[in-house]
């Protein structure tokens, strides 16, 4: 019973829903104990709130006390008469409101002013005032006026009548009465706040009386920085100083620009601050979420002009007419800068500009009172999803659902912020969703993997026993599949060794090799596995000819695992190259002269019997005879033919290149001159074959071999060619590949060389365009199009091709044999003409044709030359012939190659 109780307890703690509850609790603790989720929320707010189409007000301008101004006007702080001059300029230009953010909290006393005043006092107390004393007194009064910069600034501010100055407060909880009451000039800008709808302050700093009394209003310059990252996201519209609410500079500026005073500001406690018809929504402490505008093309949202440029009239002050002008410091070491949404460093003057624009345009962001309930509700829904729903979903559905919910939460918050200026904090439930999904998925994976390990251990012995049983039944492939599922050890190695021996007994050496390789990956030194693997590899690569291993000429096993390769006639067979139209093709070698050949074979006795065998043998050797008559540099050479080991074979020239099938695809097309050169040489080869009364009947890219390095072209597989003598011609026989067949060939009519030229035209079209001229969803549709529809203009597919080339393609694809090319030489000549026109030259092409006297083995070489670009009717001229001995191999290799090809040097 105790064991059962313990098992149930362990199962309880491993349950997914218990893990889900733990995850929810962990996220709650994480949110309460750290600022991780809060940081994510603020970063998301900064991005989303600035991704809006809202535009800043054009009624606001900023004048900066920047580095350039200090460099020209001297060290900070400047004499206050400099500020007075700028205010005078702005007042004369009729600026609507001037906000000066410099703190004039102390008098600015010029050292000479004190002495001037002492002299004035001394002169005023003398009883013997003369005319000279009166003049001196007048000068002293003038000097006093000039040196009293506070008075100068006060006069300018008073004359302007629209200058707002800052005050600064130390924020804190009020415990008793203030150290000092606000001066009368500051009280004029305050509101009664009996409800405490503002931020509490305990100390105040105000401008000096002479300057403050001249101002049109005094607003506070306190910035409300986030305690976690120091960024400014909220604006305290009001600061409460012992029952008096002091408006912020931005709020006071907005009111002043609307020709309102502080008395016109209305407080809707806990909800909003109202100036005129503008209602600015706030929280219960009169904190506003202003809109911070994005920069445009790397420029700040509000243009910032230099103090010095405006003072010296480099910038005309008239541009500020009717605008709210904010003056503030941005120079290094003078002004402070704050991080705000969308900007890591913003000066107080620019910050006020953004906030003032938000108030005037009602571009504030609202955090509804019910937003907290929505966040809590969504958090609980996500918690329920993690605890109750997620464990029941499959991995794919769970991932899709979680991703959809995650994107939905963030998209909702982003959309509300950027589109409706409403902030619902949804990063917390989104974080719970992601962390919960990852945690449960990881748990599920670990539990599954642990289960797999146990299951594998349990099933290993079962698989081994099943393998032994299948091996005993002779099902070796299935046995090997079972053994591979078992972790390797000494016992399994012994089982595999026995299995490999069974494969060898069945002469399945390639499968024995696979078993040995599987064993060697675990232990290369096991028994004689190296020798076994080498022997199996040799045997798997060896061609097994004949009915048995003891058949003469078949494969013989030698000591040490080596093999003696089989023979076909006088040729040694090395390995299989592939499957041909008539059978298997092998790589072979004539050991007497060292010539490498391709050997085409067909096991006639296995494929046919009786009269069919006789007919197949006759056809096979007729192919050899037909192809053997063709001696051309662009036709594969046939060396020998015979029959041995029940195999009929043809030994032919081994070609190093590849067929042209890959070069008919859109991404592997050859250059146009190369394509034309290849097709021209094939046309010449066909012209030669047609003169020998041989029609290929299956011209297509797969039957043309091409080696890029040597630029060698060979026509192969005259396997379905037939001598077209009248005595041997049969009609009604359809042979070939449908897509490349001529209309008359499809109709079963008698065909001649012009049918091959049509097929060559189809190949030319495909190698230029990457597609066939005729395509269909079925064989009947394809055959109908070939027989009845005209080929499309190739320039529809490749408009850059010249018109004369398009004409050649169209002529080669003519439906009627009598209207297409009549000979391959004409076809080749027109192609070479196109090449010469494309290259701008008329090259000479020289070629040679070699024929062999079978009795004497002497070779006759016929040289001919053609000037490319002449009319197609012009035939090649045979310049001379030469007879050379059969032993002159090097000379033979030279004369059968082209001496001059288009685009190549002699």
Which run of H or E residues covers position 689?
helix 672-691
554 pLDDT above the threshold of 50: no
Structure confidence at residue 738 as a pLDDT band (50, 70, 90):
confident
> Would you state the pLDDT for residue 892?
38
> With contact defined as beta carbons under 8 Å apart, do 903 and 885 qualify?
no
Of 228 and 759, which is predicted with more confidence? 759
Structure confidence at residue 327 as a pLDDT band (50, 70, 90):
very high
Q: List the one residue out of 186, 261, 177 whose CA is nearest residue 220.
A: 186
Catalytic residue among 698, 717, 825, 830: 698
The tens digit of pLDDT for each residue in 579-619 reads: 755 577 889 999 889 899 998 887 777 667 778 878 878 87
Taking all residues of the chain, what is their mean pLDDT, rounded to a whole number? 82
Q: Give the residue-averaged pLDDT of 703-726.
A: 74
Of 761 and 879, which is predicted with more confidence? 761
| 3-state helix, strand and coil shares in percent for the chain, rounded to the nearest 5 | 45, 20, 35
> Would you state the pLDDT for residue 247?
96
Cβ-proximal residues to 449 (8 Å cutoff; 6+ apart), any chain: none
pTM, 2 dp: 0.51
> Would you state the pLDDT for residue 730?
40
Of 686 and 575, which is predicted with more confidence? 686
Q: CA 309 to CA 285: how far, in whole Å?
A: 41
Strands 704-707 and 694-695: unpaired
* Residue 885 DSSP SS3: coil
Cβ-proximal residues to 573 (8 Å cutoff; 6+ apart), any chain: 543, 545, 565, 566, 567, 586, 587, 588, 599
The tens digit of pLDDT for each residue in 205-235 reads: 999 999 999 999 999 999 998 888 889 999 9
The tens digit of pLDDT for each residue in 424-437 reads: 999 999 999 999 98
Q: Give the residue-averaged pLDDT of 851-856.
A: 46
Q: Give the residue-averaged pLDDT of 261-273.
A: 91
- Cβ atoms within 10 Å, residue 119: 16
* Residue 312 DSSP SS3: coil
Structure confidence at residue 863 as a pLDDT band (50, 70, 90):
very low
Cβ-proximal residues to 417 (8 Å cutoff; 6+ apart), any chain: 45, 48, 49, 51, 52, 365, 423
Structure confidence at residue 240 as a pLDDT band (50, 70, 90):
very high
> With contact defined as beta carbons under 8 Å apart, do 74 and 338 qualify?
no
* Angle value at C-alpha 392, between 386 and 397, nearest 5 degrees: 85
> Would you state the pLDDT for residue 884?
44
Active site residue 890: no
Biggest CA–CA distance in the chain, Å, is 162
Helix/strand/coil (H/E/C) assignment for every residue in 52-90:
CCCCCCCCEEEEEECHHHHHHHCCCCCCHHHHHHHHHHH
The tens digit of pLDDT for each residue in 113-142 reads: 555 566 666 556 554 545 555 655 566 566
> Would you state the pLDDT for residue 491?
87
Structure confidence at residue 903 as a pLDDT band (50, 70, 90):
very low
Q: CA 476 to CA 482: how far, in whole Å?
A: 10
Q: CA 671 to CA 663: how far, in whole Å?
A: 10
Which run of H or E residues covers position 810?
helix 803-812
Phi, psi of 238 (to 5 degrees): -135, 140
- Token pair, residue 801, equals 């091709």
Q: CA 3 to CA 13: how far, in whole Å?
A: 16
> Would you state the pLDDT for residue 159?
95
Sheet of 278-281: strand order equals 265-268, 272-275, 278-281
The tens digit of pLDDT for each residue in 475-504 reads: 899 999 999 888 888 889 999 999 998 888
Whole-number Cα distances in Å, 802 to 142, 257, 427, 677, 747: 95, 74, 63, 16, 33
- Token pair, residue 149, equals 């910069």
Strands 304-306 and 60-65: parallel
- Cβ atoms within 10 Å, residue 502: 18
> Would you state the pLDDT for residue 608?
72
- Cβ atoms within 10 Å, residue 332: 10
């Amino acid at each position: 019973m105790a064991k059962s109780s313990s098992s149930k307890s362990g199962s309880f703690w491993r349950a997914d829903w218990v893990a889900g509850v733990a995850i929810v609790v962990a996220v709650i603790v994480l949110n309460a104990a750290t600022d991780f989720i809060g940081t994510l929320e603020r970063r998301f707010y900064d991005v989303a709130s600035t991704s809006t189409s809202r535009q800043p007000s054009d009624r606001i301008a900023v004048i900066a006390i920047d580095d350039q101004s200090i460099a020209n006007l001297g060290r900070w702080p400047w004499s206050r008469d400099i500020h007075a001059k700028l205010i005078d300029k702005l007042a004369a230009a009729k600026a609507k409101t001037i906000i000066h953010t410099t703190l004039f909290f102390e008098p600015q006393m010029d050292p000479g002013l004190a002495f001037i005043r002492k002299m004035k006092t001394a002169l005023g107390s003398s009883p013997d005032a003369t005319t000279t004393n009166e003049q001196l007194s007048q000068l002293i009064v003038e000097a006093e006026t000039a040196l009293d910069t506070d008075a100068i600034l006060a006069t300018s501010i008073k004359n302007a009548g629209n200058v707002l100055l800052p005050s600064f407060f130390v924020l804190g909880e009020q415990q008793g009465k203030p150290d000092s009451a606000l001066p009368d000039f500051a009280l004029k800008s305050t509101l009664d706040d009996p409800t405490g709808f503002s931020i509490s302050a305990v100390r105040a700093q105000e401008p000096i009386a002479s300057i403050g009394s001249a101002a049109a209003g005094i607003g506070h310059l306190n910035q409300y920085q986030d305690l976690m990252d120091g960024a400014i996201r909220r604006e305290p519209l009001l600061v409460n100083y012992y029952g008096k609410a002091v408006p912020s500079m931005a709020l006071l500026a907005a009111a002043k620009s609307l020709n309102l005073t502080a008395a016109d500001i209305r407080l809707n406690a806990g909800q909003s601050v109202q100036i005129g018809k503008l209602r600015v929504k706030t929280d219960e402490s009169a904190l506003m979420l202003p809109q911070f505008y994005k920069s445009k093309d790397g420029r700040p949202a509000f243009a910032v002009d230099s103090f010095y440029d405006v003072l010296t009239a480099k910038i005309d002050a008239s541009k500020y007419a009717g605008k709210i002008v904010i003056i503030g410091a941005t120079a290094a070491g003078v002004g402070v800068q704050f991080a705000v949404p969308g900007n890591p460093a913003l000066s107080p003057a620019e910050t006020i500009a953004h906030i003032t624009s938000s108030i005037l345009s009602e571009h504030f962001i609202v955090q509804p009172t019910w937003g907290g309930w929505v966040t809590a509700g969504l958090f609980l829904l996500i918690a329920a999803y993690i605890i109750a729903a997620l464990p029941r979903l499959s991995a794919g559905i769970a991932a899709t659902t979680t991703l959809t919910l995650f994107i939905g939460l963030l998209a909702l918050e982003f959309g509300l912020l950027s589109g409706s200026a409403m902030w619902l904090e949804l990063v917390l439930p989104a974080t719970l969703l992601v962390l919960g999904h990852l945690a449960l998925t990881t748990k599920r994976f670990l539990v599954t993997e642990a289960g797999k390990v146990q299951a594998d251990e349990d099933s290993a012995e079962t698989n081994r026993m099943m393998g032994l049983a299948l091996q005993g039944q002779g099902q070796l492939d299935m046995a090997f599949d079972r053994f591979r599922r078992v972790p390797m050890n000494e016992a399994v190695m012994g089982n595999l060794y026995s299995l490999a021996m069974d494969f060898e007994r069945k002469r399945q050496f390639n499968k024995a090799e696979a078993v040995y390789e599987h064993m060697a990956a675990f232990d290369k030194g096991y028994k004689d596995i190296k020798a076994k693997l080498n022997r199996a590899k040799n045997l798997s690569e060896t061609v097994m000819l004949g009915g048995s291993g003891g058949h003469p000429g078949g494969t013989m096993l030698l000591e040490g695992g080596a093999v003696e390769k089989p023979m076909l006639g006088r040729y040694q067979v090395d390995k299989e190259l592939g499957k041909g139209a008539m059978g298997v093709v092998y790589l072979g070698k004539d050991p007497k002269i060292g010539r490498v050949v391709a050997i085409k074979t067909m096991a006639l006795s296995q494929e046919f019997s009786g009269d069919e065998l006789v007919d197949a043998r006759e056809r096979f050797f007729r192919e050899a005879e037909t192809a053997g008559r063709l001696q051309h540099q662009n036709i594969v050479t046939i060396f020998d033919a015979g029959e041995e080991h029940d195999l009929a074979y043809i030994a032919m020239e081994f070609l190093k290149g590849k067929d042209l099938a890959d070069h008919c695809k859109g991404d592997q097309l050859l250059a146009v001159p190369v394509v034309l050169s290849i097709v021209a040489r094939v046309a010449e080869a066909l012209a030669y074959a047609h003169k020998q009364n041989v029609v290929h009947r299956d011209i297509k890219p797969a039957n043309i071999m091409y080696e890029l390095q040597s630029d060698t072209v060979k026509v192969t597989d005259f396997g379905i060619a037939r001598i077209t003598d009248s005595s041997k011609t049969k009609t009604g026989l359809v042979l070939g590949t449908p897509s490349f067949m001529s209309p008359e060939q499809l109709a079963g009519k008698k065909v001649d060389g012009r049918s091959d030229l049509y097929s060559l035209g189809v190949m030319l079209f495909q190698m230029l365009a990457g597609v066939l001229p005729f395509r269909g969803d079925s064989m009947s549709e394809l055959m109908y199009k070939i027989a009845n529809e005209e080929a499309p203009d190739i320039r529809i597919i490749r408009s850059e091709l010249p018109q004369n080339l398009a004409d050649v393609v169209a002529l080669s694809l003519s439906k009627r044999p009598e209207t297409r090319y009549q000979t391959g030489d004409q076809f080749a000549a027109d192609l070479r003409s196109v090449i010469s026109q494309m290259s701008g030259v008329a090259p000479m092409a020289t070629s040679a044709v070699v024929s062999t006297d079978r009795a004497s083995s002497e070779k006759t070489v016929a040289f001919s030359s053609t000037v490319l670009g002449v009319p197609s009717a012009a035939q090649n001229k045979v310049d001379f012939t030469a007879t050379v001995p059969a032993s002159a191999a090097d000379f033979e290799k030279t004369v059968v190659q082209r001496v001059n090809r288009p685009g190549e040097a002699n």
